[in-house]
Chains A and B, each alone.
Chain A
Amino acid sequence: MPAQSTDFQTLSRRYTADKPLRAFIRKALGGYYQKRDENKSNFQDWQGARDLAAEIKYEAVNHLEDYLLEFEAKITARGAKVFWAPDAEAARNYILQVAKENGVRAIIKSKTMTSEEIHLNHALEKEGFGVIESDLGEYIVQLREEPPFHLVFPAMHLTRGQISELFEEKLGSEPTDEPEKLTMIARDVMRSKYCEADMGISGANFAVAETGMISITENEGNARLTTSLPRIHVALLGIEKVLPHLEDLSLFLPMLATAGAGQTMTCYNTMYGGPRQPGEPDGPEQMHVVLLDNRRTELLADAEQRDALGCIRCGACLNVCPIFKNIGGYSYGTTYGGPIGSVITPHLRGLKDWKHLSAASSLCGACTEACPVKIDLHHHLLQNRRNGVKASPSPFEKLTYGGFSVMMGHPLLYRFAIKIGRFFQPLHDLVNGTFLDPLRAWTSSRKLPKLASTSFQEQWKKERGGEK
């Protein structure tokens, strides 16, 4: 069993046992459900909007080359530099090179999961560049030296008390239990950082082919400051973020806000088409757009699961997932948690080490229903299970299911097995759940149902004789 799988089991057990944390997360999500449903109901037809969003993404992903080239040509014409990074290392090296060539001293970042994926902060710090996360939640987890707990709500696992203690320890601030005061402490720290930074790194929620723009969605204004004040702007995004038309945003921006945080619109939805243009009063002198593959093309090659590239990282599937709600964000051990993470991680990081995530699902389908771009998440989890078995078959499972199949296909054999079972069950009771129990994976936390003393068929025969 790969280490990732063992770690997953250990961590899920630990987090599931943490009842206060589970209650805390349920409470945090309660408000989200209510706001999300309110906003969905304002749509004339949320399902129609989902169909259209899926359709637009399908078009973009299935003509990825055309749209990427169009995007590149348009944004390059406006003075941005586009760098194509086949893997994480290429992306890291390019950003490091830009920082070195320009004598960068301080770097500020706005929230980008793609940079988590390529471990950018670590690489920059190793080369001596100070990096500050400006998004409040990201800043909190950065101070704790933790990865984000959730795609959209990075610090949702922490109480205000924990955050106050953290700020007291790291920033020397006075303790407080008011979220507002805590937010203002971070605001004050960050103000000077924006002014000092000479490089701003952002992600992007969308790239628009038609006009050569990237679009960034945020609530705090930190991404706007990150992309306005420093003299260099680096935007890091996956190749799948491209949309054909500017008007497509009029669908995706409200849908992302509704699905992601239960908002009508996120506070700032900003479109950037290049660095500061001639005649403009401010903005960065340089804009670099890093287009990252990092095995997204492996997912593209899987026609069955290609729609997973349509993901807009709203986090809606995490918020409704019974598994996520109980095991939390850290058990997965992946950049992208929850159902979407379990679907794409085996493609991005290898099936062998990550196929166990396909079992982190009750197959209830809540994720699929929540997804604004209609990714068939729970079926993809099943497909990953199938692919996992195909890639490394388990002889024991094969034998078990083979035997079961033979038994179920032969009534005589079935009846015989029932009789034998009745005889062996009391013996099994003696070892139930112990290390001697061959079924202990199941019985350690569940009761094996008792076989009836007479089967339905036997009762029928007895009561009604030979009657058909």
Chain B
Amino acid sequence: MNDGRSLILKRIREALRDNPAPHPHTSHSQVEAETHTGGHPQRDWLPKVGETVSEQIDLFSTISAGLKTEVHRVANLAAARERFLALSKENGWKKIGSHQHTDVDFLLTGCTLPIVRTDLGYTISDLESCDVGLTACEVLVAQTGGILVSVESSGGRALSVLPPHHVVIARTSQMVPDLTASFQHVKNKYGNNFPSFMSFITGPSRTGDIERILVLGAHGPKRLSVLLVDQE
């Protein structure tokens, strides 16, 4: 059915064979071998990240503030639950979206609001009418103020983007210095069996499409809160 495949591959082969590269080229693997950073030369050029976890948390918090991500540092899970309940009260939440995860479940113990659990099957309109999506995450990225979510860690694709407020529960032990480290994390964790969806979330949804003026909550969550638990 797809003759296009052989046609395109033939065109590529002929284009490269008949017109070799104009200057000698060091291959990517050579570049990797030549650097001193364990095969990740990008680390020599990208923004610098401190080595200790506390430096990384500081960097994450500073960048998050600039992005309008609300970071709540709490001492333990119990304190995180208190903060979560306070947020719920303040904002008058009526319905919560969540997924099965030890820490998420802990936060919701005793919660009397209706809960939509994506892992138990859900309808789009049911999830859409939730005031908040509560999820765990894979890692937090200090260098960019990012939160890596995946189908596996965060209850599928839609839970972290459809409700208007996304709350993430994470532990300080999930902090990694940079994007490279987060890719290594997923490779180590999943091998070749990656979740079909992974996303670096860097602040609440935003747009600048009208006169380049920043507006939050374009299509995804208007608010993004991270409950960062100081605990392994």
Contacts and interface: CB of A to CB of B under 8 A. Distances in A.
Given A229-B158, A280-B156, A303-B22, A270 B198 contact: yes
B40 A44 contact: no
Contacts of B99: 281
B110 interface: no
A195 interface: yes
A28 B211 contact: yes
Interface string A84-123: 1110001000000000000000000000000000000000
Given A84-B2, A153-B209, A277 B196 contact: yes
A42 B47 contact: yes
Interface stretch (A14-22, A242-250, A386-394, A396-404): A242-250
Interface in B58-87: 63, 66-67
A306 B19 CA distance: 10
Interface size class of A (residues with CB under 8 A): 35 or more
B199 A224 contact: yes
B218 A222 contact: yes
Contacts of B118: 281-282
Nearest to B146: A265
A55 interface: yes
Interface residues of B, number: 86
B8 A246 contact: no
Given A182-B210, A250-B178, A272-B196, A85 B218 contact: no
Interface in B174-219: 178-180, 182-184, 187, 192, 194-213, 215, 217-219
A83 interface: yes
Interface string A144-181: 00000000011110111001000000000000000110
Contacts of A249: 179, 183
A137 B199 contact: no
Contacts of A220: 205-207, 218-220
Interface of A: 28, 31-32, 42-46, 48-49, 52, 55-56, 58-59, 62, 64-65, 68-69, 78, 83-86, 90, 134-137, 140, 153-156, 158-160, 163, 179-180, 182-184, 186-187, 190-191, 194-195, 211, 213, 219-222, 224-225, 227-229, 239, 244, 246-247, 249-251, 253-254, 261, 264-277, 280-283, 291, 293, 297-298, 300-304, 306
Interface of B: 2, 4-5, 7-9, 11-16, 18-22, 25-28, 31, 40-42, 44-48, 63, 66-67, 99, 118-119, 121-122, 124-125, 128, 143-146, 151, 155-158, 161-162, 178-180, 182-184, 187, 192, 194-213, 215, 217-221
Closest 4 CB pairs of A and B: A221-B220, A250-B179, A220-B218, A137-B209
